[in-house]
Structure formats: C-alpha cells, structure tokens
C-alpha cells in the first residue's frame, strides 16, 4: 500500500481501538515506518521489518504477535507506534508484491479509495490463540481485481488481528466453566500428581527432566502446570525408556525406568481443547 492508504486504514483503526491524542500520532507514524526502514537492519520486538515486506511476511507477523501477546500477559504496555508497525505489515498482505506487473496500478487504485462508514458497522470478531493458526487464511490477497475491496480487506483484517492480540489478558468468561472443571479434576488427582513428581525427580536424570518441565515448574497455575507437563510427555518417556535399556544392572534399570510410570499417569490429566490452545494467550489465575 501507499502511505496514503496505510494512514487511511490506520487512522480509522486507531479510533476503533479507542486511541486518541498523541497515541494517534504514534500509530500513524508507526504505520509507515517499515517503509522508511527500507533495507536497513531494523526490527520490531526482535523480528525484522525491513524490505521486502512480501517475503516471509506471515511468519514475521506470527512471531510479532507471539512476542506482543507475551507483553500483554506480563502487563507491559504495547506502544501505539509498535501497533502501527504491525498494522503496516498486515495491510501490505492485501496488495501485490513489488515485483508484480500490476503493483503500481493496483496501489494507485487503492489510494483513490476511502474507508466507508458501513464497513465499520460490520462485526469484526476477536479471536483467541486461533488467530495464529488462521493467519495464512486471514492474510491473503482475496481481491486482486478490486482496489476498494482490497482496502476494506486491509482495514478489517488489520482490525481483527490487532483486537485479538491486544484483548484483555485474562481468560474470557466463556472459557471459565471448562477451566474450573479442569482445575477441580486436577485437585481430585492429588495422588497421581504427587506420584508424577516423585517418580520423575527422584532420579539421576532429574536435571534433564527439569529442563523439559521448565514451564510447568515455573507456573503457579495448576491447570497450566499440568498442561505443560503433558506437552513434553513423549520426550520424557523416550528419555526414561532409553535410560532403562542402557542401565547396567537391575537397580539402575528400575530407578531410570520409574519415570515411565509417571508419564503414563499423565494420561489422566485431561485438558479441554479451548484451554490447551490458549496456554500462551491468556492468564488463567483466578
């Protein structure tokens, strides 16, 4: 998009997000900054934002969203300027790459269009972590022959992604029943939980298991802790089986093999799909 189109989209998005004053100026500055960077080695949240903007763009946007969401969960503020830079990359996905023969004509066509009030009245959903899985479907050039529809697409896709990544950090009310039920079941499995930790960590390979369980150990929320425990169960099981097979005698075989039973017990730790996919997207603490 031309800067005129980026600013047209982003100014309306700033209003939709409730930004005002200096924040509007910052987001408008950010929405053209990736073009100002050119081929310089510049990044946003550790992710390159230099030219070309149509190369591996989805992967770059994905990583920016992951890093930005981490900041939201920590309570660190995301600046309007950073939001603007992200908006630029998203908006560029609805136009042709620079090398395309229709690049200039299409950009000029988009620049003649304006955001319509009726577009702003349409419902733009807020997604959970599914926004990451759906990026390749969201960020597409769906209207290669219609500049006005491309502008609409750029506006609505940018708003959807930004609303999703900037939404409240706490688990939505609609997921609370599943979370509470899951937590209640974990509490009832006290013996299984204790046996898991004892069987896994009263073991010479405990430091290795601790590395695989680092997120579980660091997390105080019971549901997140045991969800992370399950995530690496295959690797921990492979380590335990391998150690069991190469042990020199019966005592060490039993000791190294004990974690296998702990990993089998984790099969009792059932995590609802909507909870599991949002482990990195929301804070679960009551």
pLDDT bracket for residue 286 (50, 70, 90): low
Query: Is the CB of residue 42 less than 8 Å from the CB of residue 187?
Result: no
Could you tell me which of 8, 50, 48 has the C-alpha nearest to residue 31?
Answer: 8
User: How far apart are the C-alpha atoms of 80 and 219, rounded to whole Å?
Assistant: 30
Task: Check pLDDT > 70 for residue 48.
Answer: yes
What is the average pLDDT across 13-25? 93
Task: Check pLDDT > 80 for residue 23.
Answer: yes
Q: What is the pLDDT of residues 107-146, one digit of tens each?
A: 899 999 999 999 999 999 999 999 999 999 998 878 788 9
Task: Write down the pLDDT at residue 211.
Answer: 93
Task: Write down the pLDDT at residue 14.
Answer: 96
Residues 6+ away with beta carbon under 8 Å from 43 = 49
State what percent of residues in the chain have pLDDT above 70.
98
State what percent of residues in the chain have pLDDT above 90.
60
What is the rounded (10 degree) CA torsion for 168, 172, 176, 182? -70
Terminal alpha carbon distance of the chain: 44
What is the largest distance, in Å, between two alpha-carbon atoms of the chain?
A: 79
Residues 6+ away with beta carbon under 8 Å from 173 = none
Q: What is the pLDDT of residues 49-75, one digit of tens each?
A: 877 766 678 899 999 999 999 999 999
Domain ranges of the chain: 3-166, 173-276
What is the average pLDDT across 243-262? 79
Task: Write down the pLDDT at residue 54.
Answer: 62
E strand segments, the chain: 43-44, 47-48
Q: What is the pLDDT of residues 140-164, one digit of tens each?
A: 878 788 999 999 999 999 999 999 9
User: Considering the chain, what is the average pLDDT of its residues?
Assistant: 90
pLDDT bracket for residue 246 (50, 70, 90): confident
Could you tell me which of 251, 188, 200, 215 has the C-alpha nearest to residue 70?
Answer: 215
User: How far apart are the C-alpha atoms of 196 and 203, rounded to whole Å?
Assistant: 12
Q: What's the alpha-carbon Rg for the chain, to the nearest Å? A: 24
What is the distance, to the nearest Å, from the Cα of residue 107 to the centroid of all Cα atoms in its chain?
Answer: 30
């Amino acid at each position: 998009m031309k800067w005129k189109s980026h600013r047209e989209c982003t100014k309306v998005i700033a209003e939709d997000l409730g930004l005002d004053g200096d924040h509007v100026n910052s987001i408008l500055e950010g929405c053209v900054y990736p073009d100002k960077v050119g081929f310089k080695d510049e990044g946003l949240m550790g992710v390159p934002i230099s030219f070309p903007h149509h190369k591996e763009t989805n992967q770059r946007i994905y990583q920016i969203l992951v890093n930005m969401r981490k900041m939201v969960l920590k309570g660190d503020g995301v600046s309007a300027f950073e939001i603007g830079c992200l908006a630029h990359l998203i908006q560029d996905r609805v136009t042709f790459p620079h090398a395309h023969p229709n690049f200039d004509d299409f950009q000029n066509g988009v620049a003649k269009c304006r955001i319509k009030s009726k577009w702003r009245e349409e419902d733009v959903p807020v997604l959970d972590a599914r926004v990451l899985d759906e990026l390749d479907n969201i960020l597409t050039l769906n209207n290669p022959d219609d500049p006005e529809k491309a502008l609409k697409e750029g506006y609505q896709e940018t708003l959807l992604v930004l609303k999703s990544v900037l939404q409240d950090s706490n688990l939505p009310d609609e997921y609370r029943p599943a979370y509470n039920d899951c937590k209640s079941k974990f509490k009832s499995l006290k013996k299984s939980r204790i046996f898991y930790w004892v069987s896994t960590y009263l073991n010479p390979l405990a430091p290795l298991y601790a590395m695989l369980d680092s997120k579980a150990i660091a997390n105080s929320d019971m549901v997140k802790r045991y969800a992370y425990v399950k995530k690496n169960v295959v690797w921990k099981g492979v380590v335990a089986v391998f150690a069991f097979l190469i042990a020199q005698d019966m005592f060490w075989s039993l000791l190294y093999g004990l974690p296998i039973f702990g990993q089998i017990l984790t099969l009792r730790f059932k995590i609802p799909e909507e909870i599991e996919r949002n482990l990195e997207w929301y804070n679960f603490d009551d």
